[in-house]
Every structure is written in C-alpha cells, then in structure tokens.
Structure 1
Amino acid sequence: MALPASPSPVQSATPVMASNLSDAVVDSRFFATKKIGVLLDDNNYLLWRQQVLLAIKTYKLQHFLESSTVPPPRQVMDEDGVLQENLEFARFEQQDCALASWLLSSVSTAVLSHLIGLDSSAQIWNAIFALYGSKTTSQLMSYRRALHSQKKGDLSMKDFLIKIKSYCDSLASCGEVISEHEHVTAILNGLPPDYESIITIVTASQVPYNVQG
C-alpha cells in the first residue's frame, strides 16, 4: 500500500457521556469534536481501524461493534402488568445510533457507498471488515515478503536503499511499523557477497546500527 498521499485530517466526533437531558430520563452520548487522522479508503484500513478502536475503547463502546451483543427488550412490564417503554432499550438505541453515525462520518465517499442501508454499529463495522480485512492482510504479507526478498542486484546502492525504504513505508501505511533492526536486516540480506566484510562488521557490532548510521 509506494506510499499513498497522506489524507488530510477530518473532523469527526467521539461519543462522550452527558447526563443533563431536558427530560432527565436517560443518559445520552453526544458528540464532542475530535480529529480522526484519516478517512477510510482502499489504502489505509489498518491505520483507520487503530484510531477508531482507540477512540471507541476510551468510552467503552466496543460491545456495540459485536454482532453477539443483544439489545435490551423494547418494552418491559410494570408492576401492574402493563407494557411500558424500556428506558434501557432507548438508551442503547440512542448510543448505538450515535456511534453508527460517527463511524459513517469517518469513511470516504467511495467506502460509504458500500454501507448504504446499514443502520447499526455492528452492521457497519462488520461490513467494513468484510471489505478490507482479508485484503489488507494479503497486502501486508506481500509487502513483507518483498521487503525481505529484495536484492541489490544491478541497482545502485542509493536505489537499493530507496527500494527497501519504499517497502517499509508501504507497510507503515498499512499500520505495520517496521523497526530499525528489521529495516537494517532487510538491507543486509539484500547485499551481494561483495559486501560480506561490511555485513560482518555491522552484525558483529555491539552498537546497534540504524538506517541513518
């Protein structure tokens, strides 16, 4: 995923707790201004997922994303045996709608077209995973294989290093940050036998080498 152009930050919202509704009956999670760094598109699923999950877990809303979560009954019986609106259901529905709306606000127009008709947080979350989960995993594996199989060959040292870095950047764009150690290892593994003395010096050094050093 060459590094895609960085999407501009988008103004989104994170549900927060409020308890001063005019009817004073239920708590409601309203939206407070919060920047989500990326709009979900075809190239940034893991980065998007990481930011969204952190925000959702901050407010302990992750159970709304689970298909196994069962909402409270819409109505309950009072002491006289009369069916009444269940305030727990009203609270659940309000919070789920707020979260679903927030999720939809964090995706690009192209992705939004795949989510038409979905009105619960779990439906939206699972549809997005179905669209990008397996695809992103496949891309990660492809980039990582390419990183560790890249050989210098006839490339100049500069072009070889740029090629290695491009794979590291592509992995980072998927949310998989490559450590300095793995970056250096990929470089050393791609060098031909002519560089054996350099490889020996680097691998035997007590001081860890970095890409700049």
Structure 2
Amino acid sequence: MATSATSSPSGVSRDTSSEVCIPPQLKFFMANVKTMVTVQLTKDNHLIWKSQLLKLFTANNYEGYLTGDIAKPPKQLLSSDGSVTVNPLYSTWMLIDQHLASAIYSTISASLLPYILNLESTHHI
C-alpha cells in the first residue's frame, strides 16, 4: 500500500496512509448506550445515572476517558529534523473521546444539556 504525505494550509504534514478507524468495541458501545443506561440525567438522579454510566464505561474499557486517566495527546509532533507532523495518537484519541461525549449527551435530559454543551471532552462532562 502506497503512502503519501500532504501539506495542510498550516504547513503541517499529514500522512494520508494513517486513517483513523472506529474500533468495533466503540461501535457496540455507541449502538447500545441508551439501552444500557436506563435513566437520563436529571437534577434529581445524579448518583444513579453516574453509577450506570461509570459501570458501562468500565465494562467497555473506556473509563480512562471519563476519569481523565487517558490524557489527550499533543495534536502535533516535532520530528528530529525540525518538521511538524500530525500526531496519529491525537486523531485516535479525539475520535474515541468525541464519540464517548456524544454517548454521554444522549443520556442527559434536555433541561441539563445547555449547561454542558460547551465542555470539550468526555472527562470534562
């Protein structure tokens, strides 16, 4: 398989062979989160909601995104020759984190969503 590098308008080179794919475990998680978290977060049920969500994240090995133990990697890497490249770990982390954040949003009542929509990562939600 051939690989190529392209340059973005910001001057950062990007390896086009390293596409980020959604892991099958994440696909399963996303498809079933609303079935497994049986209550939407409201002002009255935080402990029940949190318990269900934490157990689901832990069972699917995503609790580090929720707790912050899986930290966001740097977006770019500086090579030994001084060139800046896109960090493939950042792309993978962002894909997983944003899917998980979306899953959390789907378990929060509409009355509470406006208070958290500005938060950028699963850990911050």
Moved over 4 A (4+): none
Identity level (%): 25
Q: Which residue of 1 aligns with 2:5?
A: none
Distance 1:112 1:41 in 2: 10
Paired AA for residue 70 in structure 1: A
Distance 1:24 1:75 in 2: 14
State the shift of 1:67 in Å. Answer: 4.5
* 1:160-193 Cα distance to aligned partner (Å, 9 max, x none): xxxxxxxxxxxxxxxxxxxxxxxxxxxxxxxxxx
SS at match of 2:49: helix
Q: Which residue of 2 aligns with 1:25?
A: 19
Distance 2:124 2:86 in 1: 25
Distance 1:109 1:50 in 2: 20
Q: Which residue of 1 aligns with 2:72?
A: 71
Whether 2:40 is the aligned partner of 1:49: answer no
Matches within 5 A, 1:162-177: none
Structure 1 vs Structure 2 CA RMSD: 2.1
State the shift of 1:27 in Å. Answer: 3.9
Contact 2:57–2:66 (CA under 8 A) maintained in structure 1: no
Distance 1:70 1:103 in 2: 18
User: Which has the larger share of helix?
Assistant: 1
Distance 1:80 1:59 in 2: 39
Matches within 5 A, 1:187-206: none
State the shift of 1:81 in Å. Answer: 3.4
Paired AA for residue 59 in structure 2: T
State the shift of 1:25 in Å. Answer: 2.8
Higher Cα radius of gyration: 1
Paired AA for residue 106 in structure 2: S
Paired AA for residue 120 in structure 1: S
- In the comparison of the two structures, how many residue pairs are matched? 102
State the shift of 1:80 in Å. Answer: 4.1
Whether 2:117 is the aligned partner of 1:116: answer yes
Distance 1:66 1:55 in 2: 13
Q: Which residue of 1 aligns with 2:38?
A: 37
Distance 2:72 2:93 in 1: 7
Q: Which residue of 2 aligns with 1:101?
A: 102
Where does the alignment leave 5 or more consecutive residues of structure 1 unmatched?
Answer: 1-22, 125-213
Where does the alignment leave 5 or more consecutive residues of structure 2 unmatched?
Answer: 1-16
Q: Which residue of 2 aligns with 1:61?
A: 62
